[in-house]
Structure 1
Amino acid sequence: MDSINLEVLKSCAEWISVGRSCELITVIKTWGSSPRPEGAMLAICEDGTVIGSVSGGCIEDDLICRVRKEGITRRWPEIVTYGITADEAHRFGLPCGGTIQLAIEPLSHNSGIAELLKKIQQNELVARRLDLSTGAVSLGPASPGMCMQVSATAMTTIHGPRWRLLIIGAGQLSSFLAHIATGMDYHVTVCDPREEYRETWSLTEVEVVHAMPDDFVSEHKLDSHSAVIALTHDPKLDDLALMEALRSDAFYVGAIGSRGNNAKRRERLKLFDVSDVQLGKLHGPIGMYIGSKTPAEIAISILAEMTAVKNGIPLLDEARIEYAKRARHQPQAESLCGSSS
């Protein structure tokens, strides 16, 4: 599964390669409420075909209508603003007070889209600089903390996986988790020293490595854009990875297991000099409580919690598996006690 922006770039490269005119539209600024964040992209072909999204749909409709009526006639990049007035905001489906500014760029072989895709596929993080007056493009390395920058003369967008996810264990749950996380712009790597699990791995776009989990985590030099999830159910493997991850700057560290197993895991980790502060970073039982049962649902639960942590959203106790399950069973227990008295 590709991220939305990667699908946009691939469509652009395909249209350019067969000689079709197309434009790349990027959200560069928003005021008030906005359906799509800054950096969101949409590609539109000369026949009105679109890939990606910059709004809830109404702005896309306007862009399509203009292309079908006038064709693609721009020769240079142009900055366009929607929703300046209340009437226009209403017309384009923007919330009250919402305004969105777009950079519309006509593409050609000189736009560097094919080269950009090649670098992204090599897991490079790339800064693409567009000269807003001439349309000239240059590509260079970027760091995970870089954000899109726009001035009166240039726009620099960041492409490639800015977030890393290391998964310990190559089981079925790991496959669902890796598949979805890849679509969320994570660079996912799976570690499993067990040959029988590696041989059955079928997700070709995600690398599976044969290494001991603690060495694997240590070698990746985790930073604040990294997450580690341990899913083997084997303490000999999961605990090794968690020890290294909890001592790192990883923004999220989680492990599969029941409430009872999670408590035992914390006691084991203390024996290996993992401090209480470091243990406080451990998410377990892992995931947000949504009543998940199947591997796919559990993967969504885990990624929901991880996304909340990444975005700095505090989770209420009711959303945490440990508290939610306790709350669900408590009324039942009280009812049973009451009926027996």
Structure 2
Amino acid sequence: MDTMDAQVLNAALQWAAQGHRFATVTVARTWGSAPRPPGAWMVVRHDGQVVGSVSGGCIEDDLIHRVTHGEFNGTAPLALKYGVTTEEANRFNLPCGGTLELVLEPSTDLTALETLRSLTHSGALARRTVDLTAGTTRVEPGERADTLQWTGQVLTTVHGPRLRLLLIGASQISRYVAPMAHALGYEVLVCDPREEYYASWDVPNSRWLPGMPDDVVLGIQPDVHTAIVALTHDPKLDDLALMEALRSPAFYVGALGSKANNARRKARLKEHFELQADELERLHGPVGLPIGSRTPPEIAVSLLAELTQVKNQLHQQPTVRSACTTPADGVSV
């Protein structure tokens, strides 16, 4: 679960323990240029306190006003739309064509939230389903193939560490990459067979995987939500891991090093491991966006910036384009 998701969930459970009433709001679908993606959520307390976000701020202001004035005093979840008309788009400062469809739960199921926290805190994926017709919410273990679904009556969202980052090498750079990646919502995995590195690894929110890097790559069964970065500078460790990573569905595979080192690395992978040209083309190296980084924290920023760029290009939610003057299906509430 990414940092913002966790903040929303923790606030909801804390408010419930303190006896506060609150509403939960989730972005179910967007059209055009929307400020927040489907799945983004927030909680609004009866006195106007807010944690999380579903837009750039104007929609939050409207929701706060409506919640604090008792508009949503029922218990059944309902759908809301913002930006259906040009007047609404201007009123709520939405971009041209931008429309949001939200699911609002006036009375959130606390048992479901507790289950959600239990699953995500254990490192598992959770699938949360809100059924507007039945007026129910359920949370159950999720699978990595699960995606956000919205039928107009049933909203299913996925929570937990959907993205994984495997770092090959417990280097100084890894010590900066790991906490930054955790803040970005990654489950951070670290592998380094060198005992001296294992003995000194004390970075929170990361999980150490023992064994040789190539075995670890195979063991985690990389999928399209997995990124793998080799940071040891040791071909005996990096090359074997990269061989398996480049043959996997991992959405990002990278290796630290200069352009010259990367060229030599590709030559080794081709000669000794018979990787094909299309597999070698998947290798990001030198890793990171060219921001002139020199120090370990700067390299970490560069690496994660490129990782974010690739992830957003590949995993972005499709939207249905509409002109400002073309209303979306349904009636605005």
TM-score bracket relative to the smaller structure: 0.7 to 0.9
Question: Normalized against structure 1, the TM-score is what?
Answer: 0.85
Partner SS, residue 30 of structure 2: strand
Q: Given the alignment of the two structures, is residue 20 of structure 1 paired with residue 20 of structure 2, yes or no? A: yes
Partner SS, residue 70 of structure 1: coil
8 A contact 1:23–1:107 mirrored in 2: yes
Per the TM alignment, residue 80 of structure 1 is displaced from its structure 2 partner at its CA by: 1.2
Alignment of 1:229-244 (within 5 A): 229-244=229-244
Q: Distance in 1 between matches of 2:62 and 2:200?
A: 48
The answer for the alignment partner of 1:286 in structure 2 is 287
The answer for the alignment partner of 2:101 in structure 1 is 101
Q: Distance in 1 between matches of 2:91 and 2:295?
A: 42
8 A contact 1:20–1:45 mirrored in 2: yes
Q: Given the alignment of the two structures, is residue 210 of structure 1 paired with residue 177 of structure 2, yes or no? A: no
**Share of identical aligned residues, percent?**
49
The answer for the alignment partner of 1:179 in structure 2 is 179
Q: Distance in 2 between matches of 1:220 and 1:97?
A: 41
Per the TM alignment, residue 108 of structure 1 is displaced from its structure 2 partner at its CA by: 4.4
Q: Distance in 2 between matches of 1:266 and 1:27?
A: 43
Instruction: Say if 1:87 and 1:70 are closer, same or farther in 2 by CA, change over 3 A.
Output: same
8 A contact 1:46–1:71 mirrored in 2: no
Q: Distance in 2 between matches of 1:280 and 1:224?
A: 17
Show CA shifts across 1:63-117 (max 9, x none): 2223333386232112111122222211211012322111111344545101111
The answer for the alignment partner of 1:295 in structure 2 is 296
Alignment of 1:1-341 (within 5 A): 2-70=2-70, 73-108=73-108, 110-270=110-270, 271-312=272-313
In structure 1, what residue type is equivalent to 2:23? E
Per the TM alignment, residue 2 of structure 1 is displaced from its structure 2 partner at its CA by: 4.4
The answer for the alignment partner of 1:323 in structure 2 is none
Partner SS, residue 6 of structure 1: helix
Count the aligned residue pairs.
313
Instruction: Say if 1:2 and 1:31 are closer, same or farther in 2 by CA, change over 3 A.
Output: closer
8 A contact 2:177–2:301 mirrored in 1: yes
8 A contact 1:246–1:253 mirrored in 2: yes
In structure 2, what residue type is equivalent to 1:150? W
Partner SS, residue 219 of structure 1: helix
Q: Distance in 2 between matches of 1:266 and 1:99?
A: 46
Gaps of 5+ in 1: 314-341
- Work out which structure has the larger RCO, using CA pairs closer than 8 Å and 6 or more positions apart in sequence: 2
The answer for the alignment partner of 1:326 in structure 2 is none
Q: Distance in 2 between matches of 1:203 and 1:49?
A: 33
In structure 1, what residue type is equivalent to 2:81? T
Per the TM alignment, residue 140 of structure 1 is displaced from its structure 2 partner at its CA by: 2.6
Instruction: Say if 1:69 and 1:153 are closer, same or farther in 2 by CA, change over 3 A.
Output: closer
Per the TM alignment, residue 213 of structure 1 is displaced from its structure 2 partner at its CA by: 0.8
Per the TM alignment, residue 282 of structure 1 is displaced from its structure 2 partner at its CA by: 1.0
Larger Rg: 1 or 2? 1
Question: Normalized against structure 2, the TM-score is what?
Answer: 0.87
The answer for the alignment partner of 1:334 in structure 2 is none
Show CA shifts across 1:262-281 (max 9, x none): 12212222223223332121
Per the TM alignment, residue 39 of structure 1 is displaced from its structure 2 partner at its CA by: 1.0
Q: Distance in 2 between matches of 1:265 and 1:285?
A: 11
